[in-house]
Structure 1
Amino acid sequence: MSNLTWISTFLEAQAAELGASNNTQMAYARDLKGFSEWTETRGQVFSQLNREDIEDYLVYCDNQGLAKSTRARRLSAIKQLYRFAFEEGWRDTNPAIQIKGPGLDKRLPKTLEVEEVDKLIEAARLSGRNKNERTRNICLMELLYATGMRVSELVSMPVSASRGDPRMLLIKGKGGKERMVPLSSPARAALVAWLEIRDANEEESQRKGKAASSFLFPSRGKLGHLTRHRFYAMIKEFAVASGVNPDKVTPHTLRHAFATHLLANGADLRSIQTLLGHADVATTEIYTHVLDERLKSLVLESHPLSEAG
């Protein structure tokens, strides 16, 4: 089979069997396309490669100046592809199974102070061309900080997930896994206010003959809901308006802030793992290091002997 057939069949299986998101599939496609182009310059196809060939490709990526994280991601895609090929019987062996990736530099996630989050939420409350937009904006920010959702989970949330008892929110995460996350009082109030406006807008649209939207944050765009890119731009606007450094602010830093602030106030790692939807608690443990660094900085900046040191 051609490289293209391998890639397309693999991606179809990822979507059908594992519920891989469009973003995940696109990332795999980009990485595997680059790998395919490299093999073709050598007059080879995926079915012919051995371990040494794949290691040569990783050396090539290193020589191209690609970051460790990029090389690790590409190797992960290759490993997944060859595991799939072995399971499907396309290969008698898996040439990638014993290849070790580059060691990754551990970087602590960026987070925000409580005061900075408060400023962002207040900026959202005042941002927008009309009451409808301001109500939507405050709902987006309150939900994001109250639940620690990924931005893709937030913008694509079906409205049905917010019906019933607003004290809990049903979130569909990676791989189609669902989790229930409690809502804070401000988030519940913001959600109720937005649902009232959203439903009224939907009723008006339906009277005009337009199809009903299934999303909590509907949009006239191709996806039918607010896009990640639009929300990313919005949160940068909130940062500028609030006086918070925009370089520090992304939707994901709100997710990090959610976890870090919970941990700082006594929540246990297992609970935070469940709320974030992490498959492995080791992923959640990074926030203990964030807290350690913050405490270290506090001592160095505030202790009376720190200047002498």
Structure 2
Amino acid sequence: MSAEHEDLICLFIDNIWMHDGLSQNTLSSYKTDLVQFVIWLEQSKNTLVKASSAEVEDYLSFRYQKNYSARSTARSLSCLRRFYAYALEQGICVKDPTSKIESPKLGRPLPHTLSESDVEALLSEPDTDDALGTRDLAMLELMYASGLRVSELIKLEFSQISTVQGVLRVSGKGNKERLVPFGEAAGEAIENYLKYGRGELLGNKQSDLLFLSKRGQGMTRQTFWYRIKHYASMAGIKKHLSPHTLRHAFATHLLAHGADLRTLQMLLGHSDLSTTQIYTHIAKERLKSLHATHHPRA
């Protein structure tokens, strides 16, 4: 890298340190981003001061081809924007080549989920000859059948659910109520729990809560999470799990079988459709995987 470029980068880094008081890690990252761009420019004998919009776009494309993450490329572009704003202010440049370039879309991390066969294996593990087993199966079946959040599941009361109608009333985030249907398998598991499990767990106590701990009290998120991990281990499921794994599976499998996003949004209790749209990406990845596995010319 030329001495001219080194001096220019040092002046810029000193300037943003004095004005913004950025950490040494951030300053080091900015310097690295600028050095990488300069090295790329110097291959075509160009300079930072004379770089064009087309060259900035070509550089971003180069990063994409080299499998740099969208996040690091967005940071690199952010650094270039700051540099050219500084260069314009100092009269070093006469135009900003980044002004009309859009930042890369970072996207959101995809939730971890389970395949339909994974869910079947998980649901086959609870021992329904045991009070805790009947409770666990009812909770797992209901979560997979309705897409409830864990916090909603453990707070369910008798007055919120009807196994006859196969529907429950949920008070979700922001105390917004929604009606959520559930199928026969979940209904049967709940009825079985009410007949053979809940009374044993309740003992001589009284509670409006549907699902109880072995001490006859309300369940905690941690307890339910422990039970999911326990059954997943028994089923030989090695995938990354979270307390909301079955909620994610509910959403993904509904989409895979033809549900529309608006319906899914209502069932999940999302206030914004963009939150629900994350599941379309999971469904697409699943379809691609199935195609790659089963199509004769994949």
User: Normalised by the shorter chain, which TM-score bucket?
Assistant: 0.5 to 0.7
Does 2:275 match 1:283? yes
Equivalent residue number for residue 249 of structure 1: 241
Give the distance between the partners of 2:158 and 2:187, measured in 1 at CA.
Answer: 14
Conserved? CA contact 1:166–1:188, under 8 Å = no
1:181 partner SS: strand
Gaps of 5+ in 1: 1-54, 64-68, 70-102
Deviation at 1:244, TM superposition (A): 1.2
2:211 partner SS: coil
Conserved? CA contact 1:146–1:183, under 8 Å = yes
Give the distance between the partners of 1:213 and 1:153, measured in 2 at CA.
Answer: 16
Deviation at 1:220, TM superposition (A): 6.8
Which is helix-richer, 1 or 2? 1
Percent identity of equivalent pairs: 41
Gaps of 5+ in 2: 1-18, 27-70, 72-104
Equivalent residue number for residue 217 of structure 1: 211
| Structure whose alpha-carbon radius of gyration is higher | 2
Structure 2 letter corresponding to 1:110: H
1:170 partner SS: strand
Question: 1:85-100 residue pairs with structure 2 within 5 A?
Answer: none
Structure 1, residues 143-179: CA drift from partner, whole Å, max 9, x if none? 0100001111111212221257441111121111111
Equivalent residue number for residue 191 of structure 1: 190
Structure 1, residues 232-267: CA drift from partner, whole Å, max 9, x if none? 11101101111111x433331211110111111111
Equivalent residue number for residue 116 of structure 1: 118
Give the distance between the partners of 1:236 and 1:147, measured in 2 at CA.
Answer: 20
Give the distance between the partners of 1:117 and 1:61, measured in 2 at CA.
Answer: 47
Deviating beyond 6 angstroms after TM superposition, the runs of 4 or more aligned structure 1 residues are: none
Structure 1, residues 58-95: CA drift from partner, whole Å, max 9, x if none? x56986xxxxx9xxxxxxxxxxxxxxxxxxxxxxxxxx
Equivalent residue number for residue 221 of structure 2: 228
Equivalent residue number for residue 85 of structure 2: none
Residues 188 and 304 (structure 1), Cα distance of their counterparts in 2 relative to 1, 3 Å cut: same
Structure 2 letter corresponding to 1:236: K
Conserved? CA contact 1:112–1:248, under 8 Å = no
Residues 160 and 281 (structure 1), Cα distance of their counterparts in 2 relative to 1, 3 Å cut: same
Aligned residues: 207
Provide TM-score, normalisation by structure 2.
0.61
Deviation at 1:191, TM superposition (A): 1.1
Does 2:290 match 1:298? yes
Aligned residues: CA RMSD: 3.3
Question: 1:1-309 residue pairs with structure 2 within 5 A?
Answer: 105-124=107-126, 126=127, 131-163=130-162, 165-197=164-196, 200-201=199-200, 204-205=203-204, 210=205, 212-219=206-213, 224-245=217-238, 247-306=239-298
Structure 2 letter corresponding to 1:215: L
Residues 256 and 183 (structure 1), Cα distance of their counterparts in 2 relative to 1, 3 Å cut: same
Structure 2 letter corresponding to 1:184: G
